[in-house]
Amino acid sequence: MRTLLGRGPEPQVGDKVICTRNYWEDCSLHGDPLINGSIGYLMNPHKGKVYLPWFLKKEKEYFDVIKTEIEVPEVNDIYPMVNIDYNMLQTETKSADWRLEYKLG
């Protein structure tokens, strides 16, 4: 679908995302939690890393994320500073953290 829309494989400004879990601690500028089924659009996506705590048994020290803000125009709201598991966006396979589940629409 992304190819038909003329988009590459990397997340871009304006890409639609759908939240697939409840994140009660992650609130919008209006104070609304980010919940399962929320639909929004990426505002300024860029690659970053999330480093895992030293005490966790793990294969690597970090995993790649997309750091972005998510705009929800239907309610004129923004979720600031959201980290999205990069591997989950590309392959729908989790890297490490269950808290970063979204799907690229």
Q: Is residue 94 part of a domain?
A: yes
Q: Is residue 83 part of a domain?
A: yes
User: Furthest-apart CA pair in the chain: how many Å?
Assistant: 44
Q: Is residue 82 part of a domain?
A: yes
Work out how many domains the chain is built from and give that number: 1
Q: Tell me: the pLDDT tens digits for 53-103?
A: 777 666 778 888 899 999 999 899 999 988 888 887 777 666 655 454 444
Q: Is residue 45 part of a domain?
A: yes
Left if phi > 0, otherwise alpha if psi is -120 to 50, otherwise beta: which for 92?
Answer: left
* Domain boundaries, position 77: 16-104
Q: In terms of pTM, does the model score above 0.85?
A: no
Q: Is residue 91 part of a domain?
A: yes
Residue 105: pLDDT band (50, 70, 90) is very low
CA–CA gap between residue 28 and residue 50 (Å, rounded)? 21
**Minimal CA–CA distance to 64: which of 43, 85, 80, 82?**
85
CA–CA gap between residue 69 and residue 41 (Å, rounded)? 8
Q: Which residues contact 37 (CB under 8 A, 6 or more apart)?
A: 18, 19
CA–CA gap between residue 40 and residue 46 (Å, rounded)? 16
Tell me what pLDDT residue 103 has: 44
Higher-confidence position of 38 and 92? 38
Asked whether residue 3 carries a pLDDT value surpassing 60, the answer given is: yes
Q: Is residue 47 part of a domain?
A: yes
Q: Is residue 5 part of a domain?
A: no
Q: Is residue 24 part of a domain?
A: yes
